[in-house]
Amino acid sequence: MKSVMAYVGLLLEIFSIFLILPIIVAFIYGEAATPFFVTFTISIFLGIFLEKYFRRETLDISRGLVITALTFIMFSVLGAIPYLLMDSGEPLVAVDALFESVSGFTTTGLTVFSDVSSLPKSILFWRSETQWVGGMGIIILFLSILRGLKTSSMALYSAQGYDERIEPTIKETSQKMVKIYLTYSLFGVFALYLTGLTFFEAIATMFSAISTGGFTVVNQFYTANWTLAVVSILMILGSINFIIHDKIFKRKFDMVKENIEIKSFFATLIIFISFIFIVTKSLKLSIFQAISALTATGFSISDVAGFAPVLIFVTIIAMVIGSSSGSTAGGIKQMRLILALKSIVWAIKKTTLPKDAVIPFKIGGKGIEDDVIKITQVFIFTYATILVIGSLSLMAYGYSPIESLFQAASAMGTVGMSMIDIGSAVAGVKIILMACMFLGRLEIFPIFVLIERIMNKR
C-alpha cells in the first residue's frame, strides 16, 4: 500500500490544479473563493506529503485497481469541502456534501439540491467540472503528462477498463485520449453558445454532457430544439469508446461502421426511441430521453416520476444496459451484453456437439478467450446482485419496488434520473446510493480489490 499512496499523492497534486478554475469563476462573479482555496491547500500539501513520504514502485494490475478506487474516494472527500464551506443559505451537512461530490466525480448527476439556480456560480461550475474530470478520468490525465512510469503505466491504464491502445505507448495513447476529449469539449462550448446559452451555461452544460454526467445549472432543463440537438450529440460522443473516436479522427469510417458495439448501440437506441414514441407520441421527448438514459447522462425534459409505468420500466432497462466500453458512460456496457448473449449460443453448440469438437468464440472476427467470457459473466451477475441488494435496501426505507429499482439502477448506471426527493431522504438512503454510484462508476472490481487489501492488512 505504501507505493500506492505515493501515486495517490501525485494524483492529488494534479487534482489541485482543477480548483484554480472555480477560484477564477468566484472572482469574476464577486463570490467567496475561500472554499476552493481551502480545498486547494489541503490537496496540494497532502499530495506533496504522500509523494515525498512514500516511495513509488512498479505496479501490477491489482495495485492499479486499488489506486483507482482510492483516487475516486479521496477526490470525493476533498471535493465535498467547497459544499461544506459555501456561502449560500444553510450549510450542507457532511453526508449531503459528500453525496454531491460523489455524484459529480462518478458522473452520475443525482443531487441533494432542489433549487440549483440559487447556488453560487462558482459552486455550480465546480459541480459540473467534477463531472468533466470524472468522465475523462484523472488517472488518464496523469498518464498523459507523467514520465518514467514504465511498466506501471500499463497497470494503471488497464485498471481504468481499457485493454486496447490507440498509440504504441500508454503515454501517447493517454495523450491522444485527452486531445480527443478536449476537442469535443471545445466544440461543445462553441456550439452550445451559438444556440443561445450564456458562456457560463455553455461551459457548465458541456462539462456535464460530454462526461455523460447530468448536472445542470438551471432548475428546468433547456427545451430549445438546437440546444437539445447539441446536448444529444455531446452525450452520444461521450458514450462512445475512445478507440472509435480515434478512428473517426483518422477518417477510418469503414472501420467505425463495422464496429459491432457501435452497431449495437445505435440499434438499441432506435428500439428505445421507437418504444418511447409509441407511448408518449412526442418525438422530441422520445429521442432526448432515450439518448439520456442509454448514454447514462440523466438530463431530463420531463418529470420522470410522472412517466407511465411501462415507460419507467423501459428507462430502467436502458440505464442498466448503458453504452460503449472505454467511454465515460456507465451501465453494464454494450460489449459485455453482446458477449454474454453470444456466449449462450456458443455454450449450446458446445453442449450438443462432440466433446473433442473445436468451437471458436468470435466477436467481430476476433477470437475471445474463455477467461474473458467467464469474467464477463461474473461481472454481469455481480452487477445484477448489487442492483437487487440496492433496490431491497431502498425498499426497507419505505420506497415502492419500482421507485427503489429505478433509483438503484440510476445510481449503479451513473445516470442521475430520479423518482424520489434525494435532498429530503435520510442519510441511510444517500449512503446506499453513494455505494451504488461508486460500484457502478468503478465497475465493481476496484472496490472489491481495495476491500480485500484492507482486510488482509488487519
Q: Please give the pLDDT value at position 162.
A: 60
Cell of 122: 462558482
Average pLDDT on 258-280 reads 90
Q: Which of 31-40, 141-150, 340-349 has the highest mean pLDDT?
A: 31-40
Q: Which of 59-73, 199-213, 339-353 has the highest mean pLDDT?
A: 199-213
Cell of 453: 487489501
Does residue 155 have a pLDDT over 70?
A: no
Q: For residue 136, which of 74, 191, 194, 183 has the smallest C-alpha distance?
A: 183
Rounded to the nearest integer, the mean pLDDT of the chain is 86
Q: For residue 276, which of 302, 240, 252 has the smallest C-alpha distance?
A: 302
**Which SS3 state, helix, strand or coil, does residue 78 take?**
helix
Does residue 117 have a pLDDT over 80?
A: yes
Lowest mean pLDDT segment, chosen from 118-132, 175-189, 307-321, 326-340: 326-340
Q: Please give the pLDDT value at position 61.
A: 73
Does residue 148 have a pLDDT over 70?
A: no
Lowest mean pLDDT segment, chosen from 98-112, 136-150, 340-354: 136-150
Q: Please give the pLDDT value at position 243.
A: 83
DSSP assignment of 124-160, as one string? HHHHHHHHHHHHH-HHHHHHHH----THHHHHHHHHT
Please tell me whether the overall predicted TM-score, pTM, comes out greater than 0.85 for this model.
yes
Determine if residue 54 is left, alpha or beta; phi over 0 gives left, psi from -120 to 50 gives alpha, anything else beta. beta
Q: Please give the pLDDT value at position 364.
A: 67
Q: Please give the pLDDT value at position 256.
A: 81
Matching CATH number, 366-457, of 1.10.3470, 2.60.120, 1.10.10, 1.10.287: 1.10.287
Q: Please give the pLDDT value at position 170.
A: 75
Residue 150's pLDDT band (cuts 50, 70, 90) = low
Does residue 122 have a pLDDT over 80?
A: yes
d(CA 102, CA 111) in angstroms, rounded, equals: 10
Residue 152's pLDDT band (cuts 50, 70, 90) = low
Average pLDDT on 64-84 reads 89
Average pLDDT on 360-380 reads 77
Q: Please give the pLDDT value at position 397.
A: 96
The pLDDT > 70 percentage for the chain reads 89
Q: Please give the pLDDT value at position 408.
A: 96
Does residue 81 have a pLDDT over 60?
A: yes
The pLDDT > 90 percentage for the chain reads 50
Residue 244 burial class via C-beta count within 10 angstroms: exposed 0-12, middle 13-18, buried 19 and up? buried
Average pLDDT on 150-168 reads 62
Residue 303's pLDDT band (cuts 50, 70, 90) = confident
**Which SS3 state, helix, strand or coil, does residue 174 take?**
helix
Residue 119's pLDDT band (cuts 50, 70, 90) = very high
Does residue 433 have a pLDDT over 70?
A: yes
Q: Please give the pLDDT value at position 160.
A: 59
Q: Please give the pLDDT value at position 31.
A: 94
Residue 146: other Cβ atoms inside 10 A? 17
Q: For residue 414, which of 216, 131, 73 has the smallest C-alpha distance?
A: 131
* Secondary structure element (H or E) that encloses residue 162, with its range: none
Q: Please give the pLDDT value at position 349.
A: 77
Better-scored residue on pLDDT, 424 or 340: 424
pLDDT digit string (tens) for 39-60?
999 999 999 998 888 877 776 7
d(CA 320, CA 411) in angstroms, rounded, equals: 10
**Cα 75 to the chain's mean position, in Å?**
14
Q: For residue 188, which of 261, 132, 142 has the smallest C-alpha distance?
A: 132
d(CA 157, CA 51) in angstroms, rounded, equals: 20
Residue 131's pLDDT band (cuts 50, 70, 90) = very high
Domains of the chain: which residue ranges? 366-457
Q: Please give the pLDDT value at position 169.
A: 74
Q: Please give the pLDDT value at position 147.
A: 57
Cell of 274: 421507437
Better-scored residue on pLDDT, 25 or 60: 25
Residue 218's pLDDT band (cuts 50, 70, 90) = very high
